[in-house]
Amino acid sequence: MVCIRNGWSGNDSPQEVEDALNLILATHPEALREAKRRSYSQFVETAPAAPLPLFISSEKPLEPSRLNIYGVFPDGLTSDERNFVLMLDSDTTGTVLWWHRNPQQKPYTVSLVMPELKYDFHPDFVIGVRGRKTEDNILLLEIKGEPFMEMQQSVVKARAVHQTYQKVMMLHWHNQKQWMTVINDNKAQHNLLDQVFRFDLMPMY
């Protein structure tokens, strides 16, 4: 019916319509991914997670942290994650209000449902950012190091948008020298390094 309504000839039978759709998808594969994302977003609803625990426990002493919500650096951080939270703790601009390491698959985990992934996406960090126009000023942030940045799941995560907290920021520790923001290329098939991270990018990201 759409073909007839738009005056597109040569697409009269079901087989011709199927062949035309296959040709469109073969030449524009990103169109199907975008259609899936738009369709899926109409049915996804946000729901509050369980309250955070009042405290965390560890079998070994934890180093004090200036801005972590529990006042310590949590156990189990990767080297890149520790590097990152040390930078957060050193913020003197007043941009970072607090930070929290988002755990995997807990009742209180912040998660995103994404149609391209077989599982929920749990960004690495939940950060309170002064001036950010989201609920509780929250920014979600994911750290991606080598060789994971070019994996298909990382490409998908780089375009994640939470209904309440908006776009998820993805960072990469480039050449062990500086933090860079990560974005998709124009066809959303690969991740690219975008710009050097600065604290003033966080409120409006």
**Whether pLDDT at 38 is above 60:** no
- Can you give the pTM of this predicted structure? 0.79
| Structure-block tokens of residue 179 | 């933090």
**Whether pLDDT at 60 is above 60:** yes
Boundaries of every domain in the chain:
1-43, 56-201
CB within 8 Å of 8: residues ≥ 6 apart: none
- pLDDT tens sequence across 6-28: 556 555 677 777 666 666 666 76
Report the C-alpha gap between 125 and 80 in whole angstroms: 13
In 3D space, the residue among 126, 148, 146 whose CA is nearest the CA of residue 137 turns out to be 126
Split at pLDDT 50, 70, 90, the class of 69 is very high
Instruction: Provide the pLDDT for residue 45.
Output: 60
- pLDDT tens sequence across 87-122: 999 999 999 999 999 999 999 999 998 878 888 999
